[in-house]
């Protein structure tokens, strides 16, 4: 199956293609190109004599200081204003390439080939770059959309279980936000960490088409697109309170479970809608596949989560901005008074999230998820 569609944005439209085998086809194309690639995927490009710029994908790599090396490496490879920069990697390589392409000789075109499931199903569209400066993460950036996004899910098969689960947490979030029928269509594809490249192609295409709707209807993040922050305020608090021992996508998965609890407290119903029950089961399964999560959750404390939650920039001085699922099963943004009653409900939602996370990770069968990566300790 090959899916192709365009993303329409005010500063440039671009095509997205999803199918197994597209990376090999791209590498075989000619033209004036300079490659920048994640170290993990560099070998075939080096063997093919493409002389790629190789990046070790860690946070220091996407710092403003390191941009000098990237720009010099592009110039050493004789990049001109007509050169296309081809970036192959996850979000780190995406940020470096988008930023470098936006400033090199005042801007050159670039093609993006995402290689993590998270970047394939979520971050590859949007056109933003974010670069770290000193101790500040993602503090500077530009908006410079690629001219093409090429997604080859075969590339994602080498990711570890946690990275696959993290990508699917963001994917299912987008589908739920788009509406109950999109969530049903997503779940009907039976997505999971052991999905093959064909199945992943369908999951990614459905997810990106749903995200496209949000980007096009609300390009500047003012209304509908804010819903895509579902699970994120809770999730960011979990990342911060555990010193980033929980990866972003998994923290969002757990954050969505917290948000479901808050929604139930604000909008009590006798029985949750079926699609929400299915959503909760799927997210729980994804979270349960991460080895070692129970020991991290056993040590995290609700007051530390509350501190991090309260310092989120999305809140107003007198109001908490929360995204919840209503009694009818729709994702909604609500403003809650910043008082003791709201704080109690949020604290209870965090406590319920920890209990959920502990119960699902303790029921997992060790090794059942295939290759398992131990979560970082903190
Ligand atoms: N520009 C944006 O719109 C945007 C959006 C969200 C996140 N981000 C940024 O993206 C970064 C996170 O990106 P990410 O989670 O996609 O991954 P990443 O780029 O941080 O890579 C994570 C690890 O996966 C490895 N890897 C990459 N592809 C692989 C593959 N196919 N098989 C095996 N290993 C592979 C990398 O070598 C690295 O060790 C953060 O810096 C975040 O700030 C950017
Ligand atoms: Zn996210």
Give the Å distance between the CA of 205 and the centre of ligand 2: 18
**Under 8 Å between Cβ of 35 and 50:** yes
Residue 373: pLDDT above 70? no
Start-to-end CA span in the chain (Å): 42
What is the DSSP code string of 286-325?
HHHTSTTHHHHHHH--HHHHHHHHHT-TTS-SSEEEEEEE
Query: Which atom belonging to ligand 1 lies closest to the Cα atom of 158?
Result: 32
Out of 23, 38, 125, mutate this one to test ligand 1's pocket (max ligand atoms within 8 Å of CB): namely: 38
Locate 371 and state its tokens: 């290759």
Give this prediction's pTM: 0.94
Residue 378: pLDDT above 70? no
* Ligand lying nearest the CA atom of residue 121: 1
Give the Å distance between the CA of 159 and the centre of ligand 1: 11
**Under 8 Å between Cβ of 167 and 121:** yes
Residue 265: pLDDT above 80? yes
| CA 190 to mean position of chain CA atoms | 20
Q: How far apart are CA 245 and CA 329, in angstroms?
A: 31
Out of 95, 137, 229, mutate this one to test ligand 1's pocket (max ligand atoms within 8 Å of CB): namely: 95
- Write out pLDDT tens, residues 272-294: 899 999 999 999 999 999 999 99
Give the Å distance between the CA of 51 and the centre of ligand 2: 33
Angle between helices 302-310 and 232-241 (to 10 degrees): 120
Sorted by sequence, the CB contacts under 8 Å of residue 88 that are 6+ apart come out as 23, 35, 36, 37, 38, 41, 45, 52, 113, 115
The residue assigned the tokens 């290689």 is 115
Residue 345: pLDDT above 80? yes
The residue assigned the tokens 């670069």 is 131
Count of CA atoms in the C-beta half-sphere (13 A) of 153: 24
* Ligand lying nearest the CA atom of residue 252: 2
**Under 8 Å between Cβ of 17 and 6:** no
pLDDT tier for residue 12 given thresholds of 50, 70 and 90? confident
Out of 119, 161, 204, mutate this one to test ligand 1's pocket (max ligand atoms within 8 Å of CB): namely: 119
Q: How far apart are CA 164 and CA 171, in angstroms?
A: 11
* Residue among 211, 215, 151 at smallest CA distance from 176: 211
| Buried b / exposed e along 259-270 (16+ C-beta atoms within 10 A) | bbbbbbebeeee
* Ligand lying nearest the CA atom of residue 248: 2
Residue 1: pLDDT above 90? no
- Write out pLDDT tens, residues 321-342: 999 999 999 999 999 999 999 9
* Ligand lying nearest the CA atom of residue 255: 2
* Residue among 285, 300, 295, 291 at smallest CA distance from 360: 285
Length of the chain in terms of residues written: 378
Q: How far apart are CA 327 and CA 236, in angstroms?
A: 25
Instruction: Identify the H or E element spanning 3.
Output: strand 3-7
Query: Which atom belonging to ligand 1 lies closest to the Cα atom of 130?
Result: 1
Locate 191 and state its tokens: 């997505």
Sorted by sequence, the CB contacts under 8 Å of residue 367 that are 6+ apart come out as none
Give the Å distance between the CA of 177 and the centre of ligand 2: 13
Instruction: Identify the H or E element spanning 86.
Output: strand 84-89
The residue assigned the tokens 């404390």 is 301
Q: How far apart are CA 22 and CA 91, in angstroms?
A: 19
Give the Å distance between the CA of 317 and the centre of ligand 2: 24
Q: Whose CA is nearest to atom 6 of ligand 1?
A: 123
Q: How far apart are CA 318 and CA 36, in angstroms?
A: 46
* CA dihedral (145, 147, 153, 157) positive or negative: negative
Q: What's the mean pLDDT in 160-188?
A: 98
Residues lining ligand 1, Cβ inside 6 A: 38, 40, 57, 62, 89-95, 115-116, 118-119, 123, 126, 128-130, 138, 155-156, 158-159
Q: What's the mean pLDDT in 252-276?
A: 95
The pLDDT value given to residue 368: 44
* Residue among 257, 124, 126, 117 at smallest CA distance from 194: 117
């Amino acid at each position: 199956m090959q899916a192709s569609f365009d993303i329409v944005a005010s500063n440039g439209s671009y095509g997205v293609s999803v199918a197994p085998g597209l990376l090999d086809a791209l590498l075989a194309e000619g033209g004036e190109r300079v490659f920048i690639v994640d170290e993990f995927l560099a070998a075939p490009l080096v063997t093919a004599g493409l002389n790629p710029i190789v990046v070790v994908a860690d946070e220091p790599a996407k710092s403003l200081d390191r941009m000098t090396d990237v720009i010099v490496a592009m110039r050493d490879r004789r990049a001109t204003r007509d050169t296309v920069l081809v970036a192959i990697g996850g979000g780190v390589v995406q940020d470096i390439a988008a930023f470098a392409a936006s400033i090199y000789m005042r801007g050159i075109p670039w093609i993006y080939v995402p290689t993590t499931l998270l970047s394939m199903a979520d971050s590859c569209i949007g056109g933003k770059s974010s670069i770290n400066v000193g101790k500040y993460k993602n503090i500077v950036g530009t908006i410079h959309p690629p001219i093409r996004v090429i997604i080859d899910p075969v590339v994602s098969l080498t990711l570890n279980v946690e990275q696959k689960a993290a990508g699917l947490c963001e994917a299912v979030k987008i589908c739920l936000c788009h509406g109950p029928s999109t969530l049903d269509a997503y779940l009907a594809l039976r997505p999971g960490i052991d999905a093959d490249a064909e199945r992943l192609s369908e999951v990614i295409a459905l997810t990106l088409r749903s995200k496209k709707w949000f980007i096009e209807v609300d390009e500047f993040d003012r209304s509908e697109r804010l819903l895509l922050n579902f699970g994120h305020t809770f999730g960011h608090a979990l990342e911060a309170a555990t010193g980033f021992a929980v990866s972003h996508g998994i923290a969002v998965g757990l954050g969505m479970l917290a948000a479901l609890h808050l929604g139930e407290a604000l909008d009590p119903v006798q029985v949750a809608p079926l699609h929400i029950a299915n959503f909760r089961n799927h997210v729980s399964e994804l979270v349960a596949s991460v080895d070692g999560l129970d020991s991290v959750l056993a040590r995290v404390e609700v007051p530390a989560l509350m501190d991090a939650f309260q310092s989120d920039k999305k809140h107003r001085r007198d109001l908490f901005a929360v995204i919840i699922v209503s009694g009818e099963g729709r994702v909604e943004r609500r403003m809650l008074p910043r008082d003791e009653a709201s704080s109690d409900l949020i604290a209870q939602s965090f406590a319920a999230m920890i209990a959920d996370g502990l119960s699902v990770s303790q029921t997992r069968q060790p090794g059942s998820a295939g290759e398992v990566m131990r979560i970082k300790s903190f």
